[in-house]
Homo-oligomer: A and B are copies of this chain.
Amino acid sequence: MLGNRVTLKDVAKRAGVHPSTASRALNSASGRTSERTVQRVMQAAAALGYEPDQLARSLKTKQTFLVGVAVPDLLNAVFPAVVRGLEAVLGEAGYIVILANTDGDTARERASVRAMTARQVDGLILMTSQLRSSLVNELAGLQIPLVLIGRVVDGIAMPAVAGDDAAGVFDAVDHLAGLGHSRIAHIAGPQDTSTGRDRYHGYLAGLRERGLELDPSLVVVAQAYDEISGARACRELLGWTRDFTAIAAASDGIAFGCFDALAEAELVIPRDVSVAGFGGLPSSLRTGPPLTTVAFPYAEIGRLGGELLLAAILGENVPREVVRLKGQLVVRGSTGPPVSQTDVSTA
């Protein structure tokens, strides 16, 4: 399909040397080559506009400088941020990113990873893992460098970078309880992901810390972290009970969904219900009202993940454990003290 590309042989011929000599001359590292031939080869290459074929090179060297990255949902702003951080670090080191969106579909995840390994990627970043992932297990069996970002997997130790999910929601719940809320709902994330589970555990820990009892009817699991799923879950919650004054959402997206669902129910934030998010997306800053949330440094998480992968690729011994970055509670307008029933009636 590509036109008649200039090959190393052409360069060699023009420079009047053997292809292998040309190769050495261009990859100065490999072996010593006379200054003069280096010059001539370089000139020939430049004159012909020679561009080495990475494919052929990789076939020989077993290095592609390709890294596969699988994300669950590019439309969730968390992931572009992480990918950005990743791409910056990896790009600087000469690696280039292959990206696949999996939509949380295990089959697609598998297919994507297959396509990546078939292309001999030097390493893999997965942000898509289910809690019980046979895929990660298999990958661990292969020797391919692998770093998990965001989500971890039960029972199998892997290098991973993630936010401190439990602590984040703990802080949110603690904040809400501190404002005086005692009926705090939780819209949880998918419970087949570590993030969903860990954030739920953070919720439980927060309640416990404040001596509040768990009311199972105040917990609804959203199918995904996005706004649609969040709105749906919040509507479900409202269908069951209105006896709560605050919601700790498992993500900013879910919190935005709550905004919608609460508005439909003609409930005002934060007067009727306080809402706290999780993530700290830029868009959380300008909602009406601005969203109280726990902000995580996603680009930094991406960068760190990239560095770990790079280290693993270089054969360094990367600890198979999760590095957790703390989030930062940012209090904004979507949370406030609960309004007592009597207050409402006098209003």
A residues touching B (Cβ–Cβ < 8 Å)? 1-3, 51-56, 58-59, 62-64, 66, 74-75, 77, 79-81, 83-84, 87-88, 91, 96-101, 112, 114-120, 122, 142-145, 227, 256, 259, 282-283, 286-290, 313, 315
Contacts and interface: CB of A to CB of B under 8 A. Distances in A.
Given A51-B118, A74-B84, 4 more contacts: A2-B144, A55-B120, A75-B282, A259-B286
Nearest to A64: B55
A101 B119 contact: no
A142 B118 CA distance: 27
A111 to B, nearest CB: 8
A64 B56 CA distance: 12
A75 B288 CA distance: 22
Contacts of A97: 98-100
Nearest to A51: B118
A259 B311 CA distance: 43
B54 A120 contact: yes
Stoichiometry (number of copies): 2
Contact of A115 (B96, B115, B145): B96
A63 B1 contact: yes
Given A2-B143, A256-B286, A87 B62 contact: no
A56 B59 contact: yes
A273 to B, nearest CB: 16
Nearest to A118: B54
A51 B121 CA distance: 13
Contacts of A143: 1-3
A54 B2 contact: no
A53 B288 contact: no
A114 B51 contact: yes
Contact of A2 (B62, B81, B286): B62
Nearest to A260: B286
B66 A75 contact: no
A116 B290 CA distance: 41
A256 B220 CA distance: 32
Contacts of A79: 80
B2 A120 contact: yes
B51 A117 contact: yes
Contacts of A283: 282-283, 286
B100 A87 contact: yes
Contacts of A84: 74-75, 101
A60 B144 CA distance: 25
5 contacts: A53-B118, A55-B58, A75-B282, A77-B77, A283-B283
A53 B99 CA distance: 19
Contacts of A119: 54-55, 64, 66, 96
A288 B75 CA distance: 22
